[in-house]
């Protein structure tokens, strides 16, 4: 039973791997696509961010199609899109085709960013749900690392190097597509479609004979007399606070600054006068820390809960950023402490907000509104992600590192206060128990 649930989660988490890979791979291609397509700085900015426009579309597709066609089929569509995007961008001879391919990849990222964690949450037994959904975050982090490594290994392959870098993604896309044939549809979705016998069969395999019947009853109970949901249902008085929590937590996950480090670490190191030739070492250290502390979160999240993890994590992130800011203010940025604070910050993020946001976003909403609610929360994440990514280099240049990191430290403090006051604890309960609790 346990290994079956783990297999399902690993397959779904391949979506997370592709999400991480696709968002990170572009960084290694920039120096080569810019001259190839004759891009100005502004043109390059648009080309890099084209993925994001796809993402936003993908998130809405996931929200609607995930309900209509099922989680599994739409994840298959995402796998196909990842494949087309990899082959298309790798073989593009015009900017136009390149952009279309990247946007299709973005749609796939948007879809996977919702459906992979949601599908795992809907199949996982309550006791292990946090750990299993966090597997998706582990896969995102691994995807980022694989992209950096494969870019590094492929950079010396001649003038077509960037094409090879982009093509790598085709392999996990094919793997995701075919491995989805091995896993069942989400029992929560099956019940919503009145396919109760099939749902029971899945529940027997994931939760065991004893639990399956009562779980089925509970799911049926939550879906009784419910019509097909719409996005406006999210504004109902009992649902609105959940929607806000999802949106605000998703925005905090981004505006506390994670991707300033993930995307700009070499720039930060150069900014403080450290040499750039250790880029690979920095990548390994940052990626390795991210990976190890995501594993730590996976061990802790069902034991201590999502909330405690975020509280401790945000406090740690805040202190690390304040330390970094102080180094800038006192002109002590040349030593090893910069690296210590940056790695410390990554470690606290990875052990808390990184995975916990995805877990909570997949748990907050009632069965009939889950994919729509989650899609609104996650679209906010993508928008916040773009804004931070665009604004950060400007802040660093115009405000100095001291003030920039101080601002991020203060945002961590605001996140801490918000979580303490508004975010409910969701560990250990079934999705239906949570639904009843939130409806009170």
262 binds ligand BGC (CB under 6 A): yes
Rounded-to-integer distance, Cα 148 and Cα 142, Å: 10
Q: How far is the CB of 376 from ligand BGC (least distance, A)?
A: 16
Interacting residues with ligand BGC between 368 and 387 (CB under 6 A): 385
Q: Among residues 177 and 345, whose Cβ is nearest to ligand BGC?
A: 345
Q: Among residues 89 and 137, whose Cβ is nearest to ligand BGC?
A: 137
Structure tokens, 399:
């405000």
| Region binding ligand BGC by CB under 6 A among candidate stretches 137-145, 174-182, 278-286, 333-341 | 137-145
Q: Comparing C-alpha atoms, which of 138, 146, 114, 142 is closest to residue 351?
A: 138
In angstroms, what CA-CA distances link 53 with 81, 250, 258?
Answer: 15, 18, 20
Interacting residues with ligand BGC between 280 and 309 (CB under 6 A): 290
| Region binding ligand BGC by CB under 6 A among candidate stretches 91-99, 232-240, 256-264, 423-431 | 256-264
Residue 172: partners with Cβ closer than 8 Å, 6 or more residues away: 14, 17, 18, 21, 82, 143
How far from chain centre, in Å, is Cα 267? 23
| Region binding ligand BGC by CB under 6 A among candidate stretches 47-55, 134-142, 238-246, 311-319 | 134-142
| Region binding ligand BGC by CB under 6 A among candidate stretches 135-143, 161-169, 182-190, 193-201 | 135-143
| Region binding ligand BGC by CB under 6 A among candidate stretches 103-111, 219-227, 254-262, 409-417 | 254-262
Q: How far is the CB of 358 from ligand BGC (least distance, A)?
A: 6
Alpha helices in 227-305 (DSSP H): 240-255, 258-271, 279-304
Q: How far is the CB of 382 from ligand BGC (least distance, A)?
A: 9
Rounded-to-integer distance, Cα 62 and Cα 64, Å: 6
140 binds ligand BGC (CB under 6 A): yes
137 binds ligand BGC (CB under 6 A): yes
141 binds ligand BGC (CB under 6 A): yes
Q: Phi and psi (nearest 5°) for 253?
A: -60, -30
| Region binding ligand BGC by CB under 6 A among candidate stretches 159-167, 208-216, 258-266, 363-371 | 258-266
Rounded-to-integer distance, Cα 351 and Cα 301, Å: 9
Interacting residues with ligand BGC between 406 and 425 (CB under 6 A): none
Residue 77 near residue 111 (C-beta atoms within 8 A): yes
Could you say which of 89, 150, 259, 380 contacts ligand BGC (CB under 6 A)?
259
Give the DSSP per-residue string, 18-84: HHHHHHHHHHHHHHHHHHHHT--HHHHHHHHHHHHHHHHHHHHHHHHHHHHH-HHHHHHHHHHHHHH
Q: Among residues 8 and 286, whose Cβ is nearest to ligand BGC?
A: 286
Could you say which of 75, 99, 258, 342 contacts ligand BGC (CB under 6 A)?
258
Q: Kindly list the residues in this chain that would bind ligand BGC in the complex (CB under 6 A).
A: 137, 140-141, 253, 258-259, 262, 290, 354, 385
């Amino acid at each position: 039973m346990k290994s079956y649930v783990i297999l399902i989660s690993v397959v779904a988490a391949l979506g997370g791997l592709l999400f991480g890979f696709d968002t990170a791979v572009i960084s290694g291609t920039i120096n080569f696509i810019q001259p190839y397509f004759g891009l100005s700085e502004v043109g390059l900015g648009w080309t890099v961010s084209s993925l994001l426009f796809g993402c936003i579309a993908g998130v809405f597709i996931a929200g609607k199609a995930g309900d209509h066609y099922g989680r599994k089929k739409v994840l298959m569509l995402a796998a196909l899109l990842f494949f087309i995007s990899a082959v298309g961008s790798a073989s593009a001879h015009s900017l136009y085709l390149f952009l279309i391919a990247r946007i299709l990849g973005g749609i796939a990222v948007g879809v996977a960013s919702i459906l992979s964690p949601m599908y795992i949450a809907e199949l996982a037994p309550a006791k292990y749900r946090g750990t299993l959904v966090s597997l998706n975050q582990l896969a995102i982090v691994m995807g980022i690392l694989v992209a950096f490594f494969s870019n590094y290994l492929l950079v010396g392959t001649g003038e077509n190097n960037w094409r090879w870098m982009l093509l790598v993604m085709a392999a996990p896309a094919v793997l995701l597509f075919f491995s989805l044939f091995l896993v069942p549809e989400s029992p929560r979705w099956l019940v919503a479609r009145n396919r109760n016998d099939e749902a029971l069969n899945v529940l027997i395999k994931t939760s065991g004979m004893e639990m399956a019947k009562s779980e089925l009853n509970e799911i049926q109970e939550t879906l009784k007399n419910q019509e097909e949901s719409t996005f406006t249902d999210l504004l109902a008085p009992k649902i609105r606070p959940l929607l806000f929590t999802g949106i605000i937590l998703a925005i905090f996950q981004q505006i506390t600054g994670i991707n300033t480090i993930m995307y700009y670490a070499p720039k930060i190191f150069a900014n403080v006068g450290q040499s750039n030739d250790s880029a690979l070492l920095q990548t390994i250290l940052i990626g390795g820390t991210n990976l190890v502390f995501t594993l730590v979160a996976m061990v802790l999240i069902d034991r201590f809960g999502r909330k405690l993890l975020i509280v401790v994590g945000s406090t740690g992130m805040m202190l690390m950023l304040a330390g970094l800011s102080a180094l800038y203010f006192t002109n002590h940025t040349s030593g090893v402490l910069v690296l210590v604070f940056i790695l410390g910050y990554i470690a606290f993020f990875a052990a808390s907000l990184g995975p916990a946001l995805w877990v909570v976003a997949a748990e907050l909403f009632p069965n009939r509104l889950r994919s729509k609610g989650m899609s609104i929360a996650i679209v906010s994440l993508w928008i916040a992600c773009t804004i931070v990514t665009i604004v950060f280099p400007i802040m660093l240049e115009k405000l100095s590192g001291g003030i920039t990191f101080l601002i991020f430290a203060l945002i961590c403090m605001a996140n801490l206060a918000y979580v303490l006051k508004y975010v409910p604890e969701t560990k250990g309960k079934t999705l239906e128990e949570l639904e009843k609790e939130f409806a009170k």
